[in-house]
Structure 1
Amino acid sequence: MQLLLVEDDHLLAKGLQQALAKQGHTVNAVATGEAALHVVSTEPPDIVILDLGLPDMDGISVLKRLRKKQADLPVLILTARNEMDDKIHGLDSGADDYLAKPFDMSELFARLRVLERRLTTHKTSVITVGDVSLDIQKKTVNFHAAEIELSRREYMLLKSLMENAGRVQTRDTLEARLYSWGEEVASNALEVHIHHLRKKFGADFIKTMRGVGYKVNLS
């Protein structure tokens, strides 16, 4: 999943990014509410992890504005405010979950898994294009009824293409789904992943739209 972490504590944000990346997530981090609102408008993540104590505006204000932009975007509040009234206020303002600092990392992982499962209930769990089937909930891929092993980034790339079957995905869009901001990306990394997927699913499964990007055609 692509996560947006809104946290102004640099050390905490860095630690969370590293821990969440090890869980297979792409994590982008911002330190202000305005930056978070901009990201959601331009490159919506799958889930937002939102601190309430931000330097430019209160996190609840950010949450309310996020809800106007993306009503269904899952938001997990992560904050030092642990009074019951704060929790109720956060949930009533539109948060999907609330985790008080300090917290156990395994609990954060578990809560994110719950939100991810909830996301799949709003989508078709299995996406099928031709002979390729991708199960979002189980994170498995089958080709000609046989399960195919994919790396994390191969799976994320295939998922993005199949969710948008018939539509061209630009190089920038695909790289944003695969890599966190600031992460060193080799110039041919995307092409390498595309090449590996074509070896597994056939040379014609992913089409190159020269100068634009890539797509898979609906079958």
Structure 2
Amino acid sequence: MLSIAVVEDNDDLRAAILTALSGEGHHVVGFDCAEALAEHGRALRIDLVVVDLNLPGEDGISLTRRLRATDPDIGIIMMTARTRTDDKRIGYESGADIYLPKPVSLEELAAAILALSRRLRPMPAGPAGLTIDTGRLRLGGPEGTTPLSAPEAALLAAFARAQDHRLETWQIIEVLEQADRAPNRNALNVTISRLSAKLRQSGATSRPIRAIRNWGYQLCEPVILTF
């Protein structure tokens, strides 16, 4: 979970982002201008700022430079309608980690935050991580060992091997079919739900597998494969 500040002067968009990121398990606060963040954000420990560039008063570029100067380790994601190459260059030079041209889907923003969180809150290496034993069908973690079914082990291994730990729905169905299960949509959802529960039981976070609407799912935990 991250502490996130959203600086966006569009009230409806800001409210939608706050709702979506709160649903991801983050602590989120919203501000309609840079000055409000400066006034009220001092008492908060903020890990990451999502900032619009076209703000009333101090603009997003100036705010980003100031944030980067005062807190070099903070995460900064820019969202803006400015899409020219020069605009992106200025955004990154001012200190942005990620530059997202508007319109930005909430799913894309959540994925960007997840990617950046690996730098902000790196997972501990070694025994504290999760381990999949595909031979013995076991999931190991800091809270203990949990047995897996063959489809669950196959699916978890596929997530671990996939780029960014993301699988499209058709890929998940293909994995389950190869594991001798003929899945329909309900069976797929049940498998994902049971696997999420077992990940939590072994010590994962509260939402170890995240749905990506109209696309597929993403494993949000680093795992190590053993055979």
Question: Could you tell me how far apart the structure 1 residues matched to 2:205 and 2:116 are?
Answer: 23
Name the CA shift for 1:113/1:144 in 2 (closer, same or farther; >3 Å): closer
**1:142 corresponding residue in structure 2:** 142
Per-residue deviation, residues 49-85 of structure 1 (Å, max 9, x unmatched): 0111111111111111111221110100011111111
Percent identity over the alignment? 34
Aligned 8 A contact 1:41 1:69 in 2: no
Question: Could you tell me how far apart the structure 1 residues matched to 2:40 and 2:115 are?
Answer: 23
AA of the residue aligned to 1:118? R
Q: How does 1:74-113 map to 2 (within 5 A)?
A: 74-113=75-114
**1:204 corresponding residue in structure 2:** none
Name the CA shift for 1:2/1:92 in 2 (closer, same or farther; >3 Å): same
Aligned 8 A contact 1:7 1:30 in 2: yes
SS in 2 for 1:126: coil
Q: Gaps (5+ residues) in structure 1?
A: 128-132, 154-219
SS in 1 for 2:121: helix
**1:117 corresponding residue in structure 2:** 118
Name the CA shift for 1:150/1:7 in 2 (closer, same or farther; >3 Å): same
Question: Could you tell me how far apart the structure 1 residues matched to 2:63 and 2:52 are?
Answer: 10
**1:126 corresponding residue in structure 2:** 124
Q: TM-score if structure 1 supplies the norm length?
A: 0.57
Aligned 8 A contact 1:37 1:66 in 2: no
The yes-or-no answer on 1:58 pairing with 2:97 is no
Name the CA shift for 1:105/1:144 in 2 (closer, same or farther; >3 Å): closer
Name the CA shift for 1:66/1:151 in 2 (closer, same or farther; >3 Å): closer
Aligned 8 A contact 2:3 2:27 in 1: yes
Aligned 8 A contact 1:5 1:13 in 2: yes
AA of the residue aligned to 1:117? R
* RMSD after superposition: 3.0
Aligned 8 A contact 2:48 2:75 in 1: yes
Q: TM-score if structure 2 supplies the norm length?
A: 0.55
AA of the residue aligned to 1:15? A
Aligned 8 A contact 2:5 2:49 in 1: yes
Question: Could you tell me how far apart the structure 1 residues matched to 2:205 and 2:108 are?
Answer: 25
Question: Could you tell me how far apart the structure 1 residues matched to 2:95 and 2:83 are?
Answer: 17
Tell me which structure has the larger Cα radius of gyration.
2
SS in 1 for 2:5: strand
SS in 2 for 1:57: coil
Q: How does 1:10-89 map to 2 (within 5 A)?
A: 10-89=11-90
Q: What displacement does 1:37 show?
A: 2.6
